Amino acid sequence: MALHSRICEIFGIRYPIVLAGMGGASVPRLAAAVSNAGGLGVLGAAACSPEELRAWIREVRSLTDKPFGVDTLLPASVRREAADAAGAGDGGKPSPMDLLGDYQAFAADFMRQEGLQKVARPREASNAAARGGPAFFSKDFFEAQMEVVIEERVPVYAAGLGNPGPWMERLRENGTKIMAVIGSVKHALQVAASGIDVVVAQGHDGGGHNSPIGTMALIPQVVDAMAGRIPVLGAGGITDGRGVAAAMMLGAEGAWVGTAFLATEEAGIHQFQKEVLVEYGDGDTVVSKSVTGKPARIIRNKWAQAWVDADKTPLPMPFQSMVAGPVLAAATQDQRKDIAPGFAGQGMGLIKAIRPAREVLEDLVDGAEAALSRADIFR
Ligand SMILES: Cc1cc2nc3c(=O)[nH]c(=O)nc-3n(C[C@H](O)[C@H](O)[C@H](O)COP(=O)(O)O)c2cc1C
């Protein structure tokens, strides 16, 4: 049984398996490896400055002549938070800007306790903000990224958060195929109304920003809501071929896979973080707002726990990145598995080795085909 669906036609690829856009991890080398192996490689460009994003797109083009995609974030809440921050807050409630100093002091205390030294140029300072460009993860930052996506006429665009509606016309003019990652039927219907090509239904099991709804329950409900008009990719906890097959049994036409591709030679994360993926198991992730200000599934660590212990609610996006950024940059520099192990989904326990991305893709395909044939015996 060959793994094939409408997804292959829409994107011009061999297998309906898509490398999830994972910020900083789905780098050009990884995206190209997945595309060259017959899937669709999607760049995790959320944290790229516009200049970096342009360089990444050009690099991936130099490494593959196959279709590829770009994933960025378009969170509607950032526009709202920006307005709140500029104003006096909501009915006397302190605004995120009012709280920032106190929260940064909390982060500085944490660093002192853990013996972490400030890094000279943390990630967010190294991008455009430091050179007078838009502030990291601000509305202007996300919009500047979109200009590059359009200018570079990328084959596929994926909105990791939010609705790409305002950009649809210009993307369409370029022939760009458009998808959006959603975590509820309501959000699926909103992005469908914008005219996107593919919906990614990502459930609670997944790494990174995710939904309160479990993957197994979410996929069929989104499939039903799309009523065959828009194909659905399943996502969240799909870490081997059995997961791909299961998503397809639920009505998805392929899978958007993150964590399985993190433990690859080509992934852009650090070696100590790849080792964590092999060493840790199914119960070692938590959902926390401590990194970006939105609920994200991360590998358990002392920074996330510190917020729980202090009974403190992280600031909303984009302010929490200003608090967490220096801590995580310092912990990453010191290779601290206990503080900066990174994001991962609940399927992490299935990862047994760090391998080439091509092998991971081939196993996903072979495993899905085998599982779908086995399912036949129950008829
Ligand atoms: C390390 C990591 C970084 C991520 N960064 C992003 C991101 O920048 N943009 C995005 O849309 N999703 C991001 N995600 C979520 C993935 O796109 C994807 O939905 C998720 O990995 C699927 O679940 P899985 O990890 O269980 O396969 C990230 C996930 C991980 C594990």
Q: How far apart are CA 151 and CA 148, in angstroms?
A: 5
- 164: Cβ below 6 Å to ligand 1? no
- How many whole angstroms separate alpha carbon 191 and alpha carbon 162? 8
Instruction: Tally the residues of the chain.
Output: 379
Residue 200 Cα: closest atom of ligand 1: 19
> Phi, psi (5° rounding) for residue 19?
-70, 120
The answer to whether residues 116 and 327 touch, using CB atoms and an 8 Å cutoff, is yes
> In this structure, which residue's CA is closest to atom 5 in ligand 1?
22
Q: What domains are defined for the chain?
A: 6-99+134-281+346-371 (3.20.20.70)
Number of helical H runs and strand E runs in the chain:
15, 11
Q: Is the CB of 243 under 6 A from ligand 1?
A: no
Q: Is the CB of 207 under 6 A from ligand 1?
A: yes
User: Pairing mode, if any, of strands 296-299 and 208-209?
Assistant: antiparallel
What separation in Å is there between the alpha carbon of 42 and the centre of ligand 1? 11
Tell me if 240 CB under 6 Å of ligand 1: no
How far apart are alpha carbons 257 and 238 in whole angstroms? 6
Q: pLDDT tens per residue, the chain (379 residues)?
A: 689 999 999 999 999 999 999 999 999 999 999 999 999 999 999 999 999 999 999 999 999 999 999 999 998 876 565 555 554 445 677 899 999 999 999 999 999 999 999 998 655 544 545 556 788 888 899 999 999 999 999 999 999 999 999 999 999 999 999 999 999 999 999 999 999 999 999 999 999 998 999 999 999 999 999 999 999 999 999 999 999 999 999 999 999 999 999 999 999 999 999 999 999 999 999 999 999 999 999 999 999 999 999 999 999 988 999 999 999 999 999 999 999 999 999 999 999 999 999 999 999 999 999 999 998 777 6
Q: What is the DSSP letter of 75?
A: -
Instruction: Name the token pair of 148.
Output: 């590059």
**Most distant CA pair in the chain, distance:** 64
Is 23 close to ligand 1, i.e. is its CB under 6 Å away? yes
* Neighbour-count burial for 156-176, b at 16+ CB within 10 Å, e otherwise: bbbbbbbbbbebbeebeeeeb
For 232, residues 6+ apart whose C-beta sits below 8 A from its C-beta are: 198, 199, 200, 201, 219, 222, 223, 226, 251, 252, 253
Instruction: Tell me how far CA of residue 212 lies from CA of 205, 215, 221, 268, 296, in angstroms.
Output: 9, 9, 14, 28, 10
Instruction: Enter the pTM of the model.
Output: 0.94
